């Protein structure tokens, strides 16, 4: 059995691992996704080792060339990852050895898989954060454009999912643009704290070799090296922060997705989705199901689940590295992939959806949604205290309800039976169109506000190169 013991630490080991040991221990099945980051880290490390005179320039050149070839093989799908080599780090190094021989053995000087994996994972999450910032920007732009095109379309605004006050469709869409802006802010904050290089922390204590950690940090696009080697190898808060921000973003998307699901029902009928974003039923020919929205609504489960999962993995772990931390990657990769997919799907849905203005307008006037406008009119015109106006309006609504008519269909005499000073000017404020037009307070739903806000967002996002 000695001949099959591990190449990397075979010196002390005489037996190969039990089958189940290998199965639970190996991470290459998923951490191979970090191969590009692993190779970038190794190239930076080797170049620095040579610059510091720790290895020769020739060896560093051979390592760099060999690593380029390894990357080319991986990208071409020609690389045979071996589970017995445990993880991506040892797979890459082992192949490098096959390609260039002895110099490959010098690459791991003053380095451990502990700082290596911490570096790779940071680079991986950082690349995702950058791509995601751009992707969310695109979604915001799609929403802002839809809002600008539909600034005048009225729909019911809800509280408790009961018709509350009329709003404009554009206003509703812009609410999500704001949420997504904060999501981008949270991701950007996470990136700022993430962007320190653990490389050169070695196993946990640093190293006696004269490393230039600032040089490797710079080469890998980090702002600076981590300042404590124990911290550098043992925290995964950068992944936790990213997953926390992703969980919040996923909650935002799930709320929007739920609205899409509601709005596409025949009962609401507020929007239409084309064949591109719906599916039929294999048994019910009339069906048109918003599957993409439903899946976005569900993805939050995985994403928030990953956050919980990693929190629990990290909880109570003594410093520094423990193998527990290998459990950080699978859930994170899955969550980030789900988030990316969700953002793209929602962007597609936003581009695709068409508002059904008549349905929205009809619903906007339902449920006495302009009752607040009536109460405000009583305050403004008759100088009534708002509490009293609320009471008077309540009685007028009850009257309209008893007669089964809308507020603006109730005749003046009926209104005057509740309060004699009401005059016919009141009818000016009772329509849905007038209601939304009047909401000109900053951040309010008036179409002129919405147009202005939508245009400002479009300009800002286009200015960001989205």
Q: Could you give the CA distance from residue 121 to residue 32 in angstroms, rounded to a whole number?
A: 11
Draw the binding track, 30-59, toward ligand ARG (x: CB under 6 A; -: no contact): -x----------------------------
Of 140, 150, 326, 431, the one binding ligand ARG (CB under 6 A) is 326
* Nearest alpha-carbon partner for 122 in 339, 331, 332, 334: 332
CA neighbor of 306 nearest in space, from 240, 251, 236, 238? 240
250 forms part of the interface with ligand ARG (CB under 6 A): no
| Residue (of 42, 60, 38, 43) closest to 51 by Cα position | 60
Compare residues 116 and 449 and give the one whose CB is closer to ligand ARG. Answer: 116
Task: Report, in Å, the least distance between residue 310 CB and ligand ARG.
Answer: 13
Residues 110-129 that bind ligand ARG (CB under 6 A): 113-114, 117
Please, what is the minimum distance in Å from the beta carbon of residue 116 to ligand ARG? Answer: 7
Q: Which is nearer to ligand ARG, 111 or 299 (CB)?
A: 111
Does 169 interact with ligand ARG (rule: CB under 6 A)? no
Contact window for ligand ARG (CB under 6 A) among 50-58, 191-199, 319-327, 404-412: 319-327
Contact range with ligand ARG by CB under 6 A, out of 207-215, 320-328, 385-393, 417-425: 320-328
8 A C-beta contact, residue 349 and residue 293: yes
Collapsing DSSP states into helix, strand and coil, what is residue 330? helix
* Out of 321, 368, 377, 457, the residue judged to bind ligand ARG by CB under 6 A: 321
> Catalytic residue positions?
160, 281
Pairing, β 196-197 against β 224-225 = parallel
234 near ligand ARG, rule: CB under 6 A = no
Give the residue with the Cβ less far from ligand ARG, 113 or 184.
Answer: 113
- The interface with ligand ARG within residues 51-110 (CB under 6 A) comprises 87
Q: Which is nearer to ligand ARG, 226 or 370 (CB)?
A: 226
First to last CA, the chain: 58
Question: Which residue stretch of 55-63, 321-329, 355-363, 430-438 sits at the interface with ligand ARG (rule: CB under 6 A)?
Answer: 321-329
Q: Report how far residue 389's alpha carbon sits from residue 322's, in angstroms, rounded to the nearest whole number.
A: 66
Residue 206's region, left for phi above 0, alpha for psi from -120 to 50, else beta, is left
Determine the number of helices (DSSP H) and then strands (DSSP E) in the chain.
Answer: 18, 6
Instruction: Quote the longest CA-to-CA distance of the chain.
Output: 102
Taking CB under 6 A as the binding criterion, the range among 263-271, 317-325, 331-339, 354-362 that sits at the site for ligand ARG is 317-325
- For residue 244, the minimal CB distance to ligand ARG (Å) is 21
Burial of 370 (0-12, 13-18, 19+ CB in 10 A): buried
Cβ atoms of residues 14 and 2 within 8 Å: yes
With beta carbons less than 8 A apart as the criterion, state whether 133 and 246 touch: no
Shortest spacing between CB 86 and ligand ARG, in angstroms: 6
**323, two tokens:** 């193998």
Q: Residues 9 to 28: which contact ligand ARG by CB under 6 A? A: 27
Q: Under the rule (CB under 6 A), what is the footprint of ligand ARG?
A: 27, 31, 87, 113-114, 117, 321, 323, 325-326
């Amino acid at each position: 059995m000695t001949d099959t013991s591990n190449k990397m630490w075979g010196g002390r080991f005489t037996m190969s691992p039990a089958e189940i040991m290998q199965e639970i221990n190996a991470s290459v099945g998923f951490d191979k996704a970090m191969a590009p980051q692993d190779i970038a880290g190794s190239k930076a490390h080797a170049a620095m080792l040579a610059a510091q005179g720790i290895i020769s320039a020739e060896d560093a050149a051979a390592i760099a060339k060999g690593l380029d070839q390894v990357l080319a093989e991986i990208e071409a799908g020609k690389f045979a990852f071996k589970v017995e080599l445990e993880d991506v780090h040892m797979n890459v190094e082992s192949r490098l050895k096959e390609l260039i021989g002895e110099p490959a053995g010098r690459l791991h000087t003053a380095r451990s898989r502990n700082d290596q994996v911490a570096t790779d994972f940071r680079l991986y999450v950082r690349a995702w954060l950058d791509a995601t910032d751009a992707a969310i920007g695109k979604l915001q732009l799609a929403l802002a454009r839809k809002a600008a095109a539909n600034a005048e379309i009225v729909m019911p605004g809800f509280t408790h999912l009961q018709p509350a006050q009329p709003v404009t469709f554009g206003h509703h869409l812009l609410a999500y643009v704001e949420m997504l802006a904060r999501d981008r802010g949270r991701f950007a904050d996470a990136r700022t704290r993430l962007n320190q290089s653990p490389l050169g922390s070695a196993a946990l204590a640093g190293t006696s070799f004269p490393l230039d950690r600032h040089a490797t940090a710079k080469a890998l696009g980090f702002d600076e090296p981590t300042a404590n080697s124990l911290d550098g190898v043992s925290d995964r808060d950068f992944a936790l922060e990213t997953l926390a921000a992703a969980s919040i973003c996923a909650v935002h998307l799930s709320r929007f997705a739920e609205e899409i699901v509601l709005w596409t029902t025949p009962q609401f009928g507020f929007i239409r989705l084309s064949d591109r974003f719906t599916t039929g039923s294999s048994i019910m020919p009339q069906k048109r199901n918003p599957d993409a929205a439903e899946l976005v609504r569900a993805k939050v489960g995985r994403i928030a689940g990953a956050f919980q999962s990693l929190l629990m993995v990290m909880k109570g772990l003594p410093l520094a590295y423990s193998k527990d931390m290998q459990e950080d990657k699978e859930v994170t990769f899955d969550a980030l992939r789900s988030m990316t997919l969700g953002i793209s799907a929602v962007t597609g849905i936003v581009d695709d959806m068409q508002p059904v203005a008549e349905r929205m307008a009809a619903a906007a006037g339902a449920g006495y949604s302009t009752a607040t406008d009536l109460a405000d009119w009583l305050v403004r015109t008759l100088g009534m205290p708002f509490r009293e106006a609320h009471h008077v309006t309540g009685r007028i609504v009850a009257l309209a309800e008893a007669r089964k008519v809308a507020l603006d269909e109730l005749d003046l005499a009926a209104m005057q039976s509740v309060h004699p000073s009401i005059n016919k000017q009141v009818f000016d404020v009772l329509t849905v169109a007038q209601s939304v037009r009047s909401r000109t307070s900053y951040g309010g739903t008036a179409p002129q506000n919405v147009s202005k806000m939508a245009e400002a967002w479009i300009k800002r996002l286009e200015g960001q190169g989205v």
